[in-house]
Structure 1
Amino acid sequence: MWSVDEHLADVLTGIAPLPPVELDLLDAQGCRLATDVTAAVDLPPFDNSSMDGYAVRASDGAPAVLAVVGDIAASAGELPEVGPGRAARIMTGAPVPPGADAVAPVEWTDGGTGTGTPADAMTAPVADERVELLRPVAPGAHIRRRGSDISAGTTVLTAGTLLGPTQVGLLAAIGRGTAAVHPRPRVAVLSTGSELVQPGEPIGPGRISDSNSFTLTAAARAAGAEVTRIGGVPDDPAVLRRVLQEQLGRADLIVTSGGVSVGAYDVVKEALQPLHGGEDLGGVDFRRLRMQPGKPQGFGRIGKDGVPLLALPGNPVSAYISFELFVRPLIRTMLGAPDVHRTVVRAVCTADLASPAGRRQFLRGRYGADGTVTPVGGAGSHLVGALALADCLITVPEDTTVLPAGSGVDVVLLTD
């Protein structure tokens, strides 16, 4: 029997971030940069106003009545010269005109009304307009200097950075329309079993709804993958081999659930073990792990390109816990993520625990803000109701069979 750590190490052997691809910015969202990004331009690209107001010369002082020589919008091209005793109406983001060294907010002026009192807003431009500056302005006031945010040649994002909304916005701001990223792994999720029906279909005798393919698809998406769900492959090795062949070349990773134990209809083992005619797909090793739930597992590489395949047990809790322990780290490695594994914290268990000798047990639990953890449901690998209430896994080591309430335990947090 393999330990959990031995199996995980085998799964991750030879796995590396997927080769970089150049993607449009919005397609790159959620991916990690494959290279550093350097700004080719300054931000802001020119001195501009941070206020609606008047571009002035600070040396004109206040109070002073200034002649308005023009209007400057954010899209302005040609700019008026601001000489002594002159001002230009200017909008937020507009370029500062030559001669001006400060911007007076409109509230510091009479807004061109001639009333000598502070204005709430600018008036419409009129011929021979004058504006009274009511407060003195310091040189450089309310001006955003060129390059004050980012200077050309600066590394703005480093390789490995996750591209979220603000990072995408930064790349757009420096004029980058694409990004070189490690793409999302393409994952094919298959559930096996002739007893499976799809949600919404009638459930007859001996039939159950296919929940595993939905759980694992959602989990793979949450981990950052692009997922193709293939639900309800029947217990026919030839059909399963055909489905797997179809996914080769489309998928970077294949995940199956069910058919890996010692039953008479364990279709995944029959389809992939050479003894049963799986030579054309490659070798998958089916093994038993010293863990509960999730003892039966399969791992190998199939097809000429050696696509990794993880064969998970069919019980819903076993399949999900196996995904968290083995599949998620593989997906995160392919993504180039630094946080490959879930966070593990130490907590105080609020209940007595029992665990089989020689097995690392993973119990569902609720982690408290006070550093405690409370088991949810029992140890059964079919208890999906309890699984949906859990936000962590309580880990009981292989050499521990009894843990009294109040004991410290390792807890795997299932949330980001």
Structure 2
Amino acid sequence: MISYADALQHLMDAAWPMPVERVDVAHAEGRVLAEAVGSVQDLPPFDNSAMDGFALHADGVEIAAGSSFTVQGWQAAGDAAVQGGKGAWEIMTGAHMPAGLDSVVPVEQVEVLEAHLDGPLRIRLREAVRPGQHVRLRGQDVAQGEVVLPQGTTLDVNAVTLLHALGITTVQVHRRPPVAVITTGKELVSDGAQALEPGQIRDSNRPYLVRRLQQAGADVVWQGAVGDEPATFLQALDQATAAGARVLISTGAVSQGRYDFIPDALRGRGARIVFHKVAIRPGKPLLFARLADGALYFGLPGNPISAAVGQRFFVEPVLRRMLAMVDEQALQLPLQADLRKPPGLRVHLRAQIVADATGSLSVRVLAGQESFRLKTQLHANAWAIVDGADDVVRAGTRVKVRGLGHRDPVWLSMQEMS
């Protein structure tokens, strides 16, 4: 049995960055940038009005209330640039500012002195106009050449929206690591509509792992369930590798029981077992191997939370390295209450980050930490990680806290719980 730190080092030594590909921005959400993105234009691309109103020439001096102006023309969003000249121009929100005009007075702050069927002809200001007010300047948001998204950024809806606004149609991203999921056990039932026979349980691990892997940036290229026969497992292994999987994950059959056949089955296929059993809880029997073709293999225990811990703290760091992302950082927060733990083991606990009346954060370890309990997951917004030789960790001790997934900020999880 090795420490988590040693296990993680083995994982990082085995991981490799995925190749790069160019994808359409319309399909880039969730992808990780392989190179920084610089703006190819100014945003806004021209000076424009932030209000429906009238464009004026202030030239750095406040225009007094009561001033009157002749309306020279009107400008709507989408109209070409025009020369402003003297006087006022009726203007709509988003319209190009006429050249020479630099301020906008909202229509509500104007008295129309004279009008025609085509619109106002002469206006008077009800309020003073500050120089430059209600004008969105060219490049005020983004300047041409500015780096807007650094390498390693995960593209979310906000990043994709900005790329669209800048006219950037494709980006260089790392390919998503191709992953397969195999659940083992003759007791598993995959069809949710099927009635359970005595001794059977539903396969909840596979949908959980598939969704978490997708959220972590992986491409799940194959998934399936097998019984407790090595032959059917090896057949599934062949199907997964034929589908292109370079990271394979199974649940169950890695401990020391009669039906825990995976270690021997892997060895029989020429795999090298890098480690088997880690000083953690839950999930101690976890196995990591290199297959004969170099693919990475994770054998996770079958209990749901043990599998979740293996996914979060072993598989996801590898995916992060394959996506060429920077190392994940943990928060350090005080425990709300004393905590008992197995001495010498690193424990991963479902927890809530909470804020008191002053806004100070602390972490509450939830009840029901047994590895078969799924309902506790509903109330968790983070993982608390407690290491060390002590069997009691006192309230107020700062412990590591991470998001539910490596791309899930813990503050986002807090908002979802509020």
Query: Scaled by the length of structure 2, what TM-score is found?
Result: 0.82
2:305 partner SS? helix
Q: Which residue of the partner structure matches residue 91 of structure 1?
A: 92
d(CA) in 2 for partners of 1:190, 1:341:
30
Structure 1 position 291 matched with structure 2 position 254: no
> Letter of the aligned partner of 1:226 in structure 2?
D
1:27 alignment partner in structure 2? 27
Change in CA separation of 1:92 and 1:261 when aligned onto 2, cut-off 3 Å: same
Tell me the percent identity: 34
Q: Does 1:242 align with 2:235?
A: yes
Alignment correspondent of 2:359: none
Please state how far the C-alpha of 1:153 moved relative to its aligned partner: 2.0
Aligned residues between the structures: 394
Verify: 1:195 aligned to 2:196, yes or no.
Answer: no
Deviations 1:126-182 (A, max 9, x none): 5xx512232554554433332233222222222122322222222222210122222
1:39–1:154 CA contact under 8 A, matched in 2: yes
Q: Deviations over 1:71-113 (max 9, x none)?
A: 211111263x4333x4322111111223434333222322465
State the shift of 1:408 in Å: 3.5
Of 233, 247, 260, the residue aligned with 2:226 is 233
- Which residue of 192, 195, 200 corresponds with 1:207? 200
Partner of 1:133: 124
> Which residue identity does 1:256 align to in structure 2?
S
Change in CA separation of 1:14 and 1:283 when aligned onto 2, cut-off 3 Å: closer
**Secondary structure of 2:207's aligned partner:** helix
Q: CA deviation at 1:406?
A: 4.3
Q: Any conservation in 1 of the 2:274–2:290 contact (CA below 8 Å)?
A: no
Aligned twin of 1:53: 53
Match of 2:38 in 1: 38
Q: Show the 5 A alignment for 1:11-410.
A: 11-58=11-58, 63=66, 65-77=68-80, 79=82, 81-84=83-86, 86-111=87-112, 113=114, 125-126=118-119, 129-134=120-125, 135=127, 137=129, 139-198=131-190, 199-228=192-221, 230-248=223-241, 249-274=243-268, 278-279=269-270, 282-285=271-274, 287-302=276-291, 304=293, 306-340=294-328, 343-350=331-338, 353=340, 355=342, 358-366=344-352, 368-369=354-355, 371=362, 373-374=364-365, 376-377=367-368, 380-386=370-376, 388-391=378-381, 395=385, 397=387, 399-400=389-390, 402-403=391-392, 406=395, 408=397, 410=399
Q: Which deviations, in whole Å up to 9, do the C-alpha atoms of 1:327-354 show, x marking residues without a partner? A: 1212222233335365454425335x25
CA 1:385–1:155: 2 relative to 1, 3 Å: closer
Change (3 A) 1:54 1:360: closer
8 Å CA contact 2:49–2:134 kept in 1: the answer is yes
62-71 vs 1-10, which deviates more? Answer: 62-71
Evaluate the alpha carbon distance shift between residue 111 and residue 235 of structure 1 in structure 2; reply closer, same or farther with a 3 A threshold.
Answer: farther
Distance 1:341 1:313, change over 3 A: farther
Give distance in 2, aligned partners of 1:313 and 1:330: 18
After alignment, is 27-36 or 380-389 more displaced?
380-389
SS of 2:286's equivalent in the other structure is: strand
- Secondary structure at 1:191 match in 2: strand
CA shift for structure 1 position 211: 1.6
Answer yes or no: is the 8 Å Cα contact 2:177–2:246 preserved in 1: yes
Letter in 2 for 1:147: G
Name which of structure 1's ranges 250-259 and 261-270 shifts more when overlaid on structure 2.
261-270
CA spacing shift, 1:197–1:67, aligned 2, 3 Å: same
Task: Confirm or deny: 8 A CA contact 2:44 2:136 kept in the other structure.
Answer: yes
* 2:182/2:236 contact within 8 Å kept: no
How far off its partner does 1:383 sit?
A: 3.2
C-alpha displacement of 1:191? 0.6
Q: Which amino acid counterpart does residue 154 of structure 1 have in structure 2?
A: E
- Could you tell me the TM-score, scaled by structure 1's length? 0.82
Q: Tell me how far 1:258 sits from its aligned partner.
A: 0.8
Where 2:183 maps in the other structure, the secondary structure is: strand
* Unpaired segments ≥5 residues, structure 1: 115-122
**Deviation of the 1:197 alpha carbon:** 0.6
Range with greater deviation from structure 2 (59-68 or 9-18): 59-68
Alpha-carbon distance in 1 for matches of 2:336, 2:109: 61
- Which secondary structure state, in structure 2, belongs to the residue aligned with residue 271 of structure 1? helix
User: Which residue of structure 1 aligns with residue 416 of structure 2?
Assistant: none
Segment drifting more, 403-412 vs 333-342:
403-412
Q: Secondary structure at the match of 2:7?
A: helix
Judge conservation of contact 1:187–1:228 (CA < 8 Å) in 2.
yes
- How far apart, CA to CA, are the structure 2 residues paired with 1:138 and 1:3? 66
Q: Tell which structure's C-alpha radius of gyration is larger.
A: 1
Give the letter for the 1:232 counterpart. A
Is the Cα–Cα contact under 8 Å of residues 18 and 183 in structure 1 kept in the other structure?
yes
Deviation at 1:312, TM superposition (A): 0.7
CA RMSD after TM alignment: 3.1
Q: How far apart in 1 are the matches of 2:16 and 2:36?
A: 18
